[in-house]
Structure 1
Amino acid sequence: MGVSHKGAISLGLLYIPVALYTTTRDNDIRFNQLCKDTKERVKYKKYCPSCNKEVKTEEIIKGYEYEAGKYVVMTQDELEKIKTKKDKTIHIIQFVNLPEIDQIYYEKNYYAIAEAGAEKAFELLRTAMLSEGKVALAKTVIGTKENLIVLYPTEEGIIAKTLFYHDEILPVPKQLPKVELNEAELDMAKTLINSLTKPFDATAYKDEYQERLRNAIMKKIRGEDILAVDTSEQNNVIDLMEALQKTLAMSQNKQKIGSA
């Protein structure tokens, strides 16, 4: 697992060198784009119209378009020069109660791992935050963006969660109208929710569609036909109470079968 970012957690005079590692991997099947006639893979080339040639990766530089067709070039050395010491550290701004941060702001997760020699200071911060039920709100520059980060303590370590800024969050596209709820319907909905409530176990879930997709690909390789796995039609139940009662009955039947 490669390091995504190296820095240090900074809190006053406390300085804890850490490395950030990605917490997830992409298991999805990827399709290549092919020419319809030849079935050959489509190639994309980086091309300069003025030079009339393909441009290699090492020949490409970064430029900002400040007017139409006019660019100012920024080198990697120049980008590094404008970073302050705070930019190069994960600088803690304040501590926050976790429920105060709306889930919509969370973007990516990283494992924060202490570098050699910083384990004790790292463990002190993790244990203190965990016992107080707090998370740390911090900032750092990754690449060319200043990221807002939450340092989230767990029983095993610290997760660094990058956040979207408030101006990056789009407003709700459509406001739902206010509706009156029937007490009996609400009680039935609560019963349904409680009947399906159980402890969360991440290992119990997997991408079932990806499995079917892999099987379908293997069938195509063997020259077999792909058959539809579900041809049933969706039944639209208009009456809300009827829909709740039927769903609850289905849930209870599944639980009986599972416990038998």
Structure 2
Amino acid sequence: MATTGSSRTLWKGAITFGLVHIPVGLHTAATADGVDFDWLDKRTMDPVGYKRVNKRTGKEIAKDHIVKGVEYEDGKYVIISPDEIEAVFPKTTQTIAIERFIDANEMPFTFLERPYFVAPVNKSDKVYTLLREALLATGTIGLARVVIATKQHLAALVPSGAALVLNLLRWGDEVKALDTLKLPPAGRKNESAAELKMATQLIKEMSGPWKPEDFKDEFRRQVMKLVEKKAKAGEGQTVVEPEEEAPSPSADIIDLTALLQRSLKAGAKSGSKAPAKKKPASAKAPATKAVARKTAATKKTPPQRKAA
């Protein structure tokens, strides 16, 4: 398993259930180390970017002329203004509010999305340990709501070794039902006793302990070895990024930093016990300003980049 230096706290708040209040911080528990292929002009080695293009006319348009629309029927859209989007952002409460405890075996893997390590802060080790050991003793996990970067999530608080892990979950209506598939009924046994015996024997022979370091992204490893080899052979190219003009105020880009600051101030004034509001399904807010820009750019149908 890859290791890094000191872990930066991404979020600080508290786990709450009943009258229990446990100050904690969230830390990234996963990394994405895929190969990042950038577009370059092979004639000049200049970086190639995206353009905002009107799909009907094929002409580039200014970002001031772009608005956000949500399709509600085929070809029909409702325009949502930045003020309307800001008004329905979930309010930050800085709490991981546990609403229910369930048997740990009841959670399907299809709902798991992104893990975070949860660590105690402000001398909360004792009550943190108490919750961890109580979850282990009862074989349960906590279902909670939490707001991270202006987006409300359903999450599972799970004991894992010495840590509590907060795993963000998909909402119930985001996972497709199995009744859309043609599957053999559970419990049906079409195999013979001999076939079942051989299958179980093969599984036992191939069984072993869980060692994540045994499984690596071989594509990325091979590509990076090729990059290192070419760089050492002097085949590297110098790419100079052009200077960008200072961004001008735009109706289609929301200053999420300011929104977060206002949300945090409002949360501090009203207290951390205010209940989190569920985000309406029609409001799809980007998690960060960078993501908002990237999303707006990628919707302009640039040529697809596929790894060879």
TM-score by length of 2: 0.59
Percent sequence identity over aligned pairs: 30
Q: Determine which of 77, 82, 91 is the counterpart of 1:83.
A: 91
The residue number in structure 2 matching 1:207 is 217
Q: Partners of 1:69 and 1:22 in 2: how far apart?
A: 36
Query: Cα deviations across residues 212-250 of structure 1 (Å, max 9, x unaligned)?
Result: 2222233444389xxxxxxxxxxxxxxxxxxxxxxxxxx
Gaps of 5+ in 2: 1-6, 55-60, 236-308
Greater CA deviation, 12-21 or 178-187? 178-187
Q: Which residue of 2 aligns with 1:117?
A: 123
Any idea what SS the aligned residue of 1:3 has? Answer: coil
Q: Residue deviations 1:46-83, cap 9 Å, x none?
A: 799xxx7567xxxx9x9675984743223897567x62
- What's the CA shift string for 1:152-181, capped at 9, x where partnerless? 112312000111112001245642457832
Cα RMSD (Å):
3.4
Q: Does 1:93 align with 2:99?
A: yes
Q: Decide which of 171, 184, 187 is 2:194's aligned counterpart.
A: 184
Q: Quick check: 1:92–1:139 contact (8 Å CA) kept in 2? A: yes
Which structure is higher in strand share? 1
The alignment status of 1:151 with 2:164, answered yes or no, reads: no
Q: Which runs of 5+ in 1 are unaligned?
A: 225-260
1:162 is matched with which residue? 168
TM-score by length of 1: 0.69
Q: Point out the more displaced range, 196-205 or 157-166.
A: 196-205
CA deviations 1:109-131 (Å, max 9, x no partner) are 00111121322221111121122
CA–CA distance in 2 between the matches of 1:130 and 1:101?
15
**Matched ranges for 1:126-141 at <5 A:** 126-141=132-147
Q: CA deviation at 1:194?
A: 0.7
Map residues 210-225 of structure 1 onto 2, 5 A cutoff: 210-221=220-231, 222=233
Select 2:80's aligned residue among 71, 79, 84.
71
CA contact (8 A) 1:130 1:153 kept: yes
Q: Which structure exhibits the higher relative contact order, with contacts defined as CA atoms closer than 8 Å and separated by 6 or more residues? A: 2
1:31 to 18, 28, 37: 37
1:176 & 1:68 partners in 2: Cα distance?
37
Note if contact 1:64-1:73 (Cα within 8 Å) is conserved in structure 2: no
Amino acid at match of 1:109: P
Contact 1:16-1:114 within 8 A present in 2 as well: yes
Query: Highest CA radius of gyration, 1 or 2?
Result: 1
Aligned to 1:11: 17
TM-fit CA distance, 1:27: 2.3
CA distance in 2, matches of 1:103, 1:117: 33
Which amino acid in structure 1 is aligned with residue 153 of structure 2?
N
The number of residues matched between the two structures is: 215
Distance in 2, Cα, partners of 1:75 & 1:107: 28
